[in-house]
């Protein structure tokens, strides 16, 4: 090749820039899936093979649904990007340990087919698919979805399953003796959905995502901070016992929601200010639900409600354009 150049060479012409960060959708999604592994491990420790069964069913159903719909829409197959796996896992994490596997599968099918693909697939969905799927099964099979059995390791193991309550449920019913210790809440040794109980495991995964820059600190910080502040300031509703702000943070689906669901890129605002507003909104709604609502928990609803506000938040939190005073309200009509 030296000295004489080939007269005809094949060239690739692409627009600038020609250099890329190497961060791709599959990489992001599979990293999120990997960051869910500590919580997955915790779910197996505390709920045993019941958890694995649900996770397998939900992930399989999500991936198959994604594949079928990609085929029906004649779009390239997108199961390789890992987003369906993440949705399936997150959905399973939001289910109580004793629901049947078909229920997990039904939720996953709904999440992918209706909440995600019906809007146009990844990037176009308005609502968090996993939460949408969870809401679907929660309303279709209400009693199954509110029956919690104790973790394998709990001292109450062996008690009548029907009488076991989540920490938030216990606080609502003023069953003080049923409220587990703060430590048990932190490590996840309490009743609840399989993937949400261990704040420790979720935080571990969150740290990974945060350190890699895949999620911003803003939404979790604003979310957790506002829940802590409001549950500390506001009086609790009638007939319930107050939990400390820390107990609130470590109980129910808050940690899972704040770290993995409220940080979903597609359904949350794009700007830093918008993310803070989103987290604040989620936190406020969650706190109000928990303190005064009909259900002891409100994380799913609050995130879904704020999902609906995301376009509005985006519109009013545009950054300042360099060299102007304007906030860049959008769209500025001529």
Partner 1 sequence: MSASAGYELAITAILTLAGLGFLLSLVLLAGTKIFKVKTDPRVDRVLDLLPGSNCGACGFGGCNECARAIIEEAAAPDVCPLCRGEAVDRISKIAGREVKDTSPAVAVVLCRSRASAPRNFLYRGIPECRAAAAAAGGETACRWGCLRYYDCVRSCPFDAFEIDSEGNPVVDPRRCRSCEICVRACPRGIIKMTPADKPVEVLCSSRDPAKTTARACPTGCIACGRCVKVCPRSAIEVKDNLARIDPELCDGCGRCVEVCPRKIIYLQGAREAAAAGGGDGQK
Partner 2 sequence: MSRVRLAPPFFVQIRSGSVKTRSFQGGIRIDDFKRFTERKPIETLPPPPKAYLPLKQNAGSPPRPVVEIGAEVSAGEVIAAPSGAVSSTLHASVFGKVSAIADHPHPSGADSPAIVIETAAAGNGFSGMEPMVDWEGAAPEDIRARVLEAGIVGMGGAGFPAQVKLEPPPGKKIETAVINAAECEPFLTVDHRLLLEETEKVVAGLKIIMRAAGAARGVVAVESNKADALDRLERALEKEENIFTVLLTVKYPQGAEKQLLKTVADREVPSGGLPADVGCLVHNVHTATAIADAVLHGRPLIERVVTVSGFGLDRPGNFRVRLGTPFSRLLEAAGGPPDGELRLIAGGPMTGVAQRDLGTPVIKSTSGLVVLPPLPRARNLPCLRCGKCLTVCPMGLVPCDLARAAEKGRREDFAGLSGADCMECGCCAYVCPAARDLVQFIQLGKALEE
Least distance (Å) from partner 1 to the CB of residue 121? 18
Structure-block tokens of residue 25: 């959708």
Residue from 156, 165, 228 nearest 192 by CA: 165
Examine residue 77 and tell whether it contacts partner 2 (CB under 8 A): no
Structure-block tokens of residue 108: 């996953």
Report the residue number, 139 or 332, with the smaller CB distance to partner 2: 332
- Give the range of 66-74, 93-101, 121-129, 151-159 binding partner 2 by CB under 8 A: 121-129
Least distance (Å) from partner 1 to the CB of residue 13? 5
CA dihedral (320, 326, 330, 334) in degrees, to 10, reads -150
Least distance (Å) from partner 2 to the CB of residue 310? 8
Q: State the binding partner of 235 from partner 1, partner 2, none, CB within 5 to 8 A by kind.
A: none
- Give the range of 98-106, 161-169, 185-193, 313-321 binding partner 2 by CB under 8 A: 313-321
Least distance (Å) from partner 2 to the CB of residue 112? 15
Examine residue 211 and tell whether it contacts partner 2 (CB under 8 A): no
Structure-block tokens of residue 56: 């397998």
Examine residue 217 and tell whether it contacts partner 2 (CB under 8 A): no
Q: State the binding partner of 3 from partner 1, partner 2, none, CB within 5 to 8 A by kind.
A: partner 2
Report the residue number, 213 or 235, with the smaller CB distance to partner 2: 213
Report the residue number, 7 or 143, with the smaller CB distance to partner 1: 7
DSSP reduced 3-state for 8? coil
- Cα separations in angstroms, 134 against 107, 185, 208: 6, 22, 25
Per DSSP, helices labelled H in 97-172 are 101-110, 129-140, 142-145, 167-172
Least distance (Å) from partner 1 to the CB of residue 10? 7
Report the residue number, 76 or 213, with the smaller CB distance to partner 1: 76
Report the residue number, 15 or 323, with the smaller CB distance to partner 1: 15
Contacts of residues 314-323 at CB distance under 8 Å and 24 or more positions apart, as own/partner, are 314/269, 314/270, 314/271, 314/274, 317/269, 317/271, 317/273, 317/274, 317/277, 318/271, 319/271, 319/273
* Residue at token pair 């639900």: 289
Examine residue 74 and tell whether it contacts partner 2 (CB under 8 A): no
Least distance (Å) from partner 1 to the CB of residue 231? 41
Examine residue 71 and tell whether it contacts partner 2 (CB under 8 A): no
Q: State the binding partner of 232 from partner 2, partner 1, none, CB within 5 to 8 A by kind.
A: none
Give the separation between CA 301 and CA 9, rounded to whole angstroms. 58
Least distance (Å) from partner 2 to the CB of residue 206? 16
Cβ(255)–Cβ(203) below 8 Å: yes
How crowded is the C-beta side of 183, counted as CA atoms within 13 Å?
1
Which residues make up the interface to partner 1 (CB under 8 A)? Answer: 10-15
Examine residue 331 and tell whether it contacts partner 2 (CB under 8 A): yes
How crowded is the C-beta side of 5, counted as CA atoms within 13 Å?
4
Examine residue 36 and tell whether it contacts partner 2 (CB under 8 A): no
Give the separation between CA 130 and CA 144, rounded to whole angstroms. 18
Q: State the binding partner of 324 from partner 1, partner 2, none, CB within 5 to 8 A by kind.
A: partner 2
Give the separation between CA 107 and CA 88, rounded to whole angstroms. 9
Examine residue 73 and tell whether it contacts partner 2 (CB under 8 A): no
Q: Which residues bind partner 2 (CB under 8 A)?
A: 1-3, 5, 9-21, 23-25, 27-28, 120-124, 216, 265-266, 268-272, 274-275, 314, 318-326, 328, 330-334
């Amino acid at each position: 090749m030296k000295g004489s150049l080939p007269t005809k060479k094949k060239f690739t012409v692409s627009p600038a820039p020609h250099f890329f960060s190497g961060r791709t959708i599959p990489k992001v999604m599979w990293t999120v899936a990997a960051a869910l592994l500590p919580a997955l491990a915790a779910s197996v420790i505390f709920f045993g093979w019941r958890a694995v069964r649900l996770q397998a069913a939900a992930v399989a159903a999500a991936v198959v649904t994604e594949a079928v719909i990609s085929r029906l829409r004649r779009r390239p197959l997108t199961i390789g990007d890992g987003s369906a796996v993440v949705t399936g896992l997150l959905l399973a994490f939001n289910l109580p340990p004793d629901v049947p596997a078909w229920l997990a599968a039904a939720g996953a099918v709904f999440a992918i087919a209706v909440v995600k693909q019906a809007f146009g697939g990844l990037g176009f969905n308005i609502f968090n698919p996993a939460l949408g799927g969870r809401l679907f099964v929660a309303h279709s099979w209400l009693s199954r979805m509110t029956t919690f059995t104790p973790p394998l390791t709990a001292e109450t193991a062996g008690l009548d399953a029907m009488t076991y309550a989540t920490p938030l449920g216990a606080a609502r019913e003023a069953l003080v003796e049923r409220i587990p210790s703060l430590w048990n809440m932190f490590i996840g040794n309490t009743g609840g959905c399989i993937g949400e109980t261990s704040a420790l495991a979720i935080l571990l995964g969150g740290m990974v995502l945060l350190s890699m820059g895949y999620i911003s600190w803003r939404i979790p910080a604003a979310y957790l901070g506002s829940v802590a502040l409001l549950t500390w300031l506001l009086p609790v509703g009638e007939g319930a016992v107050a939990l400390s702000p820390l107990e609130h943070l470590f109980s129910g689906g808050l940690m899972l929601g704040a770290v993995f669901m409220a940080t979903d890129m597609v359904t949350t605002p794009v700007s830093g200010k918008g993310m803070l507003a989103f987290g604040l909104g989620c936190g406020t709604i969650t706190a109000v639900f928990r303190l005064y609502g009909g259900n002891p928990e409100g994380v799913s609803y609050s995130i879904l409600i704020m999902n609906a506000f995301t376009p509005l938040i985006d519109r009013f939190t545009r950054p300042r354009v360099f060299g102007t005073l304007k906030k860049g309200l959008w769209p500025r009509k001529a």
